[in-house]
Amino acid sequence: MHRYEVFLKKPGREEFRHAGTLDAPDPEMAMLLARETHSRRGEGAEMWLVDREHVLVGDDAHLAVNDDKPHRHNDGSLVAARRKQEREERA
């Protein structure tokens, strides 16, 4: 059995969205079964199936935030404080 990730896209300008996962012995059978498991009620106008084996996965270490780089977390507070100060100086 292979595991496939199912993506569906509604008509129009919607993007493809992850709809779920299914197990099937091969791509042809996966496509056949995906129709029943994920699009029986017209949930999508287009379908992508991706073999889980082909998905590149970033692990936790790869995604961990560097906590020594506060400058990457600009929430705008410094700029806001400076503008506030300037306003007060003008007043």
Partner 1 sequence: MTLSTGTREYLLGFADDEHMIGARHTSWIGLGPFLEEDLAFCSIAQDELGHAIALYELLLDDQPDTDLDAFAMLRDPVDYRSCHLAERECGAWNDSLVRHWLYDRAEQLRWTSLLESSNERLAALAARALREEAFHVEHAAQFMARVAPSQPAQILESITTLLPIAAGIWDAVAGEPEALADGVATASSAQLAEQWELAVRTDLADWNLDIEWPDDTSTADVGEAQGARRRRSDGFDELQADLRKVIDLDPSARW
Interface residue list for partner 1 (CB under 8 A)? 1, 22-26, 28-29, 32-33, 35-37, 40
Q: Which tokens is 79 given?
A: 């700029």
Tell me the closest approach of the beta carbon of residue 40 to partner 1, in angstroms.
6
How far out from the chain centre does Cα 5 lie?
A: 13
Min dist CB 63 to partner 1, Å, is 30
The nearer residue to partner 1, 25 or 81, going by C-beta atoms, is: 25
What's the one-letter identity of residue 11? P
Nearer to partner 1, 21 or 85 (CB): 21
Name the residue nearer to partner 1 (CB basis): 53 or 75: 53
CB of 57 to partner 1, least distance (A): 23
Q: Record the tokens describing residue 58, joined without a space.
A: 């970033």
